[in-house]
C-alpha cells in the first residue's frame, strides 16, 4: 500500500494537492532500513480529522532499531528501557497529574482518544537521526498543522522545531515549552504541566478531557 493510500480518506482529501510530493518521497524511501517500518509511516494519520482534539508535535522518528512505530514519542509496549525523552514525558505526567511512571511506552492509548502524535519528519534511516531531513516531509506536515489549526485543536509544541509551527494554531489553544529530551528537559519542560493544561483547555471549549 503506497504512503498516500495509508492515509485516512480525510487526510487524502486535505493533502490532495500534495499527493505528488508524497509520491516523490515514497519513491525515494529504502524500505529495508526504514524507521518506522514502511506500513507504519502514516500510522498517525490513519484517523479522521474530526476525531483529533490534541496534537503533540515531535521532530523525527526514534532512530534506534525497533523503537519507532509511527506515533511521535511512542514505542511498542515491549521496548525496555524506554527512550530518554519518553521517560521524561512520563516523569512530567506523574508530577503534573499524578499518573505513576509507566513501563509501557506505547502511546496508542492517547491516540485512541484523539491525540495526534505527529513528527515533523515522518521517516529516518534506522540508526540515524534526521537522515531524511531534506526529503520534503516538512511541507507535508506543515499542511497537516495548518489543517488542524483551522479547528479547535490543542497544540502541544515541545522545543524549537515544533514551535516553528506555532503561528498556524490559535494562541489560546497552544501550549509550548522546552523539549523533553535530556538535553533540554531541565530548561523548562519539567514543571510545564502540559497534561493538566490541555485538559483545562479541552473542558473550557466543551470537549472531553484526555485520560492520560
Please indicate, yes or no, if residue 166 is contained in any of the structural domains. Answer: yes
| Cell 540508526 -> residue | 127
pLDDT attached to residue 55:
98
**Known catalytic residue at 60:** yes
Low-confidence ranges of the chain (pLDDT < 50): none
d(CA 103, CA 121): 26
pLDDT attached to residue 178:
96
The single residue of 5, 33, 60, 106 carrying the catalytic annotation is 60
CATH number at residue 87: 3.40.470.10
pLDDT attached to residue 34:
97
pLDDT attached to residue 116:
98
Q: Which three cell numbers stand for residue 92?
A: 512530567
Residue 156 C-beta-side C-alpha neighbours within 13 Å: 27
Alpha-carbon torsion (93, 115, 199, 59), positive or negative:
positive
Q: Which three cell numbers stand for residue 3?
A: 504512503
Q: Which three cell numbers stand for residue 46?
A: 490513519
pTM above threshold 0.85? yes
| Tally of domains within the chain | 1
Which domain covers residue 78, as residue numbers?
Answer: 3-204
pLDDT attached to residue 130:
93
pLDDT attached to residue 189:
98
pLDDT attached to residue 196:
98
Amino acid at each position: 500500500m503506497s504512503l498516500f493510500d495509508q492515509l485516512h480518506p480525510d487526510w487524502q482529501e486535505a493533502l490532495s494537492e500534495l499527493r505528488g510530493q508524497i509520491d516523490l518521497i515514497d519513491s525515494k524511501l529504502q524500505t529495508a532500513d526504514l524507521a518506522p517500518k514502511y506500513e507504519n509511516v502514516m500510522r498517525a494519520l490513519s484517523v479522521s480529522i474530526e476525531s483529533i482534539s490534541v496534537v503533540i508535535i515531535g521532530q523525527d522518528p526514534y532512530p534506534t532499531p525497533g523503537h519507532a512505530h509511527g506515533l511521535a514519542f511512542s514505542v511498542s509496549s515491549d521496548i525496555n528501557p524506554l527512550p530518554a525523552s519518553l521517560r521524561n514525558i512520563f516523569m512530567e505526567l506523574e508530577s503534573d497529574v499524578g499518573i505513576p511512571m509507566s513501563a509501557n511506552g506505547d502511546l496508542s492509548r492517547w491516540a485512541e482518544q484523539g491525540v495526534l502524535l505527529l513528527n515533523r519528519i515522518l521517516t529516518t534511516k534506522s540508526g540515524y537521526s534526521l537522515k531524511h531531513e531534506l526529503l520534503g516531509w516538512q511541507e507535508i506536515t506543515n499542511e497537516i498543522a495548518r489543517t488542524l489549526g483551522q479547528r479547535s485543536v490543542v497544540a502541544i509544541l515541545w522545543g524549537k522545531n515544533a514551535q516553528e509551527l506555532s503561528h498556524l494554531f490559535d494562541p489560546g489553544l497552544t501550549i509550548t515549552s522546552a523539549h523533553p529530551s535530556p538535553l533540554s528537559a531541565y530548561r523548562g519542560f519539567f514543571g510545564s504541566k502540559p497534561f493538566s493544561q490541555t485538559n483545562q483547555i479541552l473542558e473550557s471549549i466543551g470537549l472531553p478531557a484526555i485520560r492520560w
